[in-house]
Structure 1
């Protein structure tokens, strides 16, 4: 038996808008409308002593990447700058390049030892090694008065 459903283009547009605005994992600050959003895609893994983070940042210079660590909260931000190109004899017909800022924040289960954290960036991939703080250091027991 076939089920008949009503096609509602307004619902489809709302769902697309909702996912782009509220569920998007990264945001892009740009003055040009109609450009695709740069999404900061992450892989986060852990072992007994470290968190490992791999983030794809194609087209970003190392100097334009910022990493902030606040306890167990990690924020990665980057800025993609427009490169000035010399015009030749031809005209630009279509371009999908983007410019703007992108950021991503996430929370880990354990606090990170900022003094031992390492970051490496090569070929558009940022790799972080974030050592976990000793659990005895991060715990504090309060006495009840």
Structure 2
């Protein structure tokens, strides 16, 4: 009787260090820290529901409120922002290397009920975007202004 084994494309790398994760293989090349700093940030959200509507909190640290766009269409909510990350240095320091990240982040999700666009509000403070989204029977598309 033949034995079946699973094929893993990374198995060849595992013989370098038994039991070491794949990321550890690149640790000696000084590439891993640069990768993590240049990755696009995620928009993490919390959604809470009460009888009248929804409260959405989105973590967006370091983003200017003028660079955030929120749009609502029915029960669809979309949050997008332009992210600009630069490393700052003191005047008495000289550059060894400098990294920047410019890009767009986007998060879209559906709610169980449609949102009343006329009563929806958005507030941004301390890196957290808070959306108050009241429920409605029927809706139309509207772009929110952030206070």
**Bucket of the pairwise TM-score, normalised by the shorter protein:** 0.5 to 0.7
Q: 1:110 to 1:123 in 2, by over 3 A?
A: same
Q: Is the 8 A contact 1:38 1:98 kept in 2?
A: no
Shift of 1:5: 7.9
Q: Which has the larger radius of gyration?
A: 2
Shift of 1:109: 0.8
Match of 1:9 in 2: 10
> Can you give the 5+ residue segments of structure 2 that lack an aligned partner in the other structure?
14-21, 23-33, 140-147
Q: Is the 8 A contact 1:51 1:129 kept in 2?
A: yes
> Can you give the 5+ residue segments of structure 1 that lack an aligned partner in the other structure?
17-32, 139-145
Alignment of 1:1-145 (within 5 A): 8-9=9-10, 34=35, 35-82=38-85, 88-93=91-96, 98-134=101-137, 137=138
Number of residue-to-residue matches in the alignment: 114
Name the SS of the counterpart of 2:66 in structure 1: helix
Name the SS of the counterpart of 2:79 in structure 1: strand
TM-score scaled by length of structure 1 = 0.65
Q: Is the 8 A contact 1:40 1:56 kept in 2?
A: yes
Q: Deviations over 1:6-36 (max 9, x none)?
A: 76417x9xxx9xxxxxxxxxxxxxxxx9411
